[in-house]
C-alpha cells in the first residue's frame, strides 16, 4: 500500500519520465543516480509492476508505467499549485514549457503566439520542437503537443484552440492547362500531390451520396511537409489537399484557387494536448488559456504568415 512516505518516490518517478533520464532527474533532485535507480526499483516492487524498461542508451515507459505516470504527474502538479498559492505567487508563471507542434503551423502561427506569451511571463522559458509525425508526449517529455485533425481516443487531454477545414486547391495556371474538376471522380485524370505521412485513400476522401467516398488518385510529387506541397501547388505541379490556414492568403491573392468546395468532410480542429486531467502546472494552464483566447475567431486570411 502506498503511504505518505512513498510520495517523494512517486514524484521522482514522474521527473524521470518527464526528463527521460535517470541522470537528469538525479541532478535536479540533488542526489546520486544510483539512489534514483534504487528508489524507482523499490517503487516497482511496492506496486508490483514494471514501470520502466531500461537500456544502456534510453528508458522506455511501460503501459503500466504510463498510467502510473499520469497520476504521479497530477500529484506533482497539485503540489506545485499548492506551493504557488501558499507562497502568494498565484499567476506567477515560471520554469520551462516544452511544446511540440507540426512544422508549418509552428512557423506560421505558433512562434508568434509563444513570443507574445513569453513577453507576459519573464520567468518562463519555452522549448519548442517541430515534428509532422505523431509524437509520444511522455517519451518526448512534452508539456503540450499541438495536434491538427481528428483526435483518436486516448488517455490524453485535449483543449480545442481553433477550427479549420481541409480544402482542395491548385494554381490558376494548372487549372487552365488541365481543366477544373467538377466532381471528385474527375480527380482520376489529374496530378494529385500526396502528403506522404498519410495514406492516399485517407488524404483524398470526400462526401458522397452514400457516405464517405475515397477517390483513387495518382500523382508524381510526394512530400512529408505541407509547406513543400503548397509551394509545389503554387508552381503548378498539381492539386493538393491542405488545411485552409496554410493557403488562405494565397487563395485571397488569387495565387491558388479552391475546387470541389462542399465535397470535403467536416471541419478539423487544432488542439493543445496535455497529460494532465486535473491540477495542470501553472505554466500549462496559463498557456492553454492564452492560446485559446489568442486563436478565438482567428482569421486565417489576414493573419496567416507566408513562409
- Is 225 within 8 Å of 241 (Cβ atoms)? no
Which pLDDT belongs to residue 80?
63
Residue 192 pairs with which residues in a beta bridge?
A: 239
Please give the average per-residue pLDDT across 147-176, as a whole number. Answer: 88
- In the predicted structure, residue 87 carries a pLDDT above the cut 50: no
Share of the chain above pLDDT 70, in %: 89
* CB-facing half-sphere around the CA of 144: CA atoms within 13 A: 29
Q: What's the alpha-carbon Rg for the chain, to the nearest Å? A: 23
Which pLDDT belongs to residue 88?
39
Report the chain's mean pLDDT, rounded to a whole number: 86
Which pLDDT belongs to residue 66?
86
Q: What is the pTM of this model?
A: 0.71
Share of the chain above pLDDT 90, in %: 47
- In the predicted structure, residue 305 carries a pLDDT above the cut 70: no
Which pLDDT belongs to residue 56?
64
- Is 242 within 8 Å of 167 (Cβ atoms)? yes
Helix residue spans in the chain (DSSP H): 7-19, 22-29, 33-47, 63-86, 103-105, 111-120, 137-140, 172-178, 200-203, 226-234, 244-252, 282-294, 300-303
Q: Is 101 left (phi over 0), alpha (psi -120 to 50) or beta?
A: beta
Cα separation, 145 vs 163, whole angstroms: 16
DSSP per-residue letters across 5-54: GGHHHHHHHHHHHHHT-HHHHHHHHTS-HHHHHHHHHHHHHHHTS--EEE
First to last CA, the chain: 55
Q: Which three cell numbers stand for residue 67?
A: 498510467
Mapped onto helix, strand or coil, the DSSP state of residue 236 is: coil
Q: Which three cell numbers stand for residue 192?
A: 494529385
Q: Any idea which of 60-64, 81-85, 97-101, 118-122 has the lowest mean pLDDT?
A: 81-85
Taking only the tens place, the pLDDT of each residue in 8-28 is 888 888 888 878 888 888 888
pLDDT confidence band for 195 (50 / 70 / 90): very high
Q: How many residues does the chain have?
A: 307
Comparing 175 with 87, the larger pLDDT belongs to: 175
Please give the average per-residue pLDDT across 137-161, as a whole number. Answer: 82
Cα separation, 242 vs 286, whole angstroms: 30
pLDDT confidence band for 83 (50 / 70 / 90): low
Among residues 200, 202, 226, 199, the alpha carbon closest in space to that of 132 is found at 226
Cα separation, 223 vs 2, whole angstroms: 50
Please give the average per-residue pLDDT across 54-72, as a whole number. Answer: 81
Among residues 183, 194, 201, 186, the alpha carbon closest in space to that of 238 is found at 194
Q: What domains can you pick out in the chain, each with its CATH number?
A: 4-86 (1.10.10.10), 95-164+268-303 (3.40.190.10), 166-259 (3.40.190.10)
Which pLDDT belongs to residue 186?
96
The dihedrals phi and psi of 201, each to the nearest 5 degrees, come to -65, -30
The dihedral of CA 265, 130, 220, 235: what is its sign?
A: positive
Which pLDDT belongs to residue 104?
94
Q: Any idea which of 162-176, 226-240, 270-284 has the lowest mean pLDDT?
A: 270-284
Residue 148 pairs with which residues in a beta bridge?
A: 270
The per-residue b/e assignment along 49-66, b for 16 or more CB within 10 angstroms, e otherwise, is eebbeeeeeebebeeebb
Which pLDDT belongs to residue 304?
58
Amino acid at each position: 500500500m502506498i503511504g505518505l512516505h512513498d510520495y517523494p518516490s512517486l514524484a521522482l518517478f514522474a521527473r524521470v519520465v518527464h526528463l527521460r533520464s535517470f541522470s537528469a532527474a538525479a541532478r535536479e533532485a540533488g542526489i546520486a543516480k544510483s539512489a534514483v535507480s534504487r528508489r524507482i526499483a523499490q517503487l516497482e516492487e511496492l506496486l508490483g509492476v514494471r514501470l520502466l524498461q531500461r537500456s544502456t542508451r534510453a528508458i522506455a515507459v511501460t503501459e503500466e508505467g504510463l498510467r502510473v505516470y499520469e497520476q504521479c504527474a497530477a500529484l506533482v502538479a497539485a503540489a506545485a499549485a499548492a506551493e504557488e498559492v501558499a507562497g502568494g505567487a498565484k499567476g506567477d508563471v515560471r520554469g520551462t514549457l516544452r511544446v511540440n507542434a507540426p512544422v508549418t503551423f509552428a512557423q506560421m502561427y505558433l512562434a508568434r503566439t509563444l513570443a507574445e506569451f513569453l513577453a507576459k511571463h519573464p520567468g518562463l522559458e519555452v522549448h519548442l520542437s517541430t515534428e509532422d509525425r505523431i509524437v509520444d508526449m511522455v517519451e518526448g517529455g512534452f508539456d503540450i503537443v499541438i495536434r491538427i485533425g481528428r483526435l483518436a481516443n486516448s488517455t490524453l487531454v485535449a483543449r480545442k484552440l481553433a477550427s479549420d477545414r481541409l480544402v482542395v486547391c491548385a494554381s490558376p495556371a494548372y487549372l487552365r492547362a488541365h481543366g477544373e474538376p467538377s466532381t471528385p471522380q474527375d480527380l482520376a485524370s489529374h496530378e494529385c500531390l500526396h502528403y506522404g505521412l498519410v495514406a492516399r485513400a485517407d488524404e483524398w476522401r470526400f462526401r458522397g451520396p452514400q457516405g464517405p467516398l475515397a477517390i483513387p488518385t495518382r500523382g508524381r510529387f510526394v512530400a512529408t511537409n505541407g509547406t513543400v506541397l503548397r509551394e509545389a501547388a503554387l508552381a503548378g505541379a498539381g492539386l493538393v489537399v491542405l488545411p485552409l490556414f496554410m493557403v488562405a492568403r494565397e487563395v485571397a491573392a488569387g495565387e491558388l484557387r479552391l475546387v470541389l468546395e462542399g465535397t470535403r468532410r467536416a471541419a478539423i480542429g487544432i488542439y493543445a494536448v496535455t497529460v494532465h486531467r486535473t491540477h495542470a502546472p501553472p505554466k500549462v494552464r496559463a498557456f492553454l488559456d492564452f492560446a485559446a483566447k489568442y486563436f478565438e475567431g482567428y482569421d486565417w486570411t489576414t493573419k496567416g504568415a507566408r513562409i
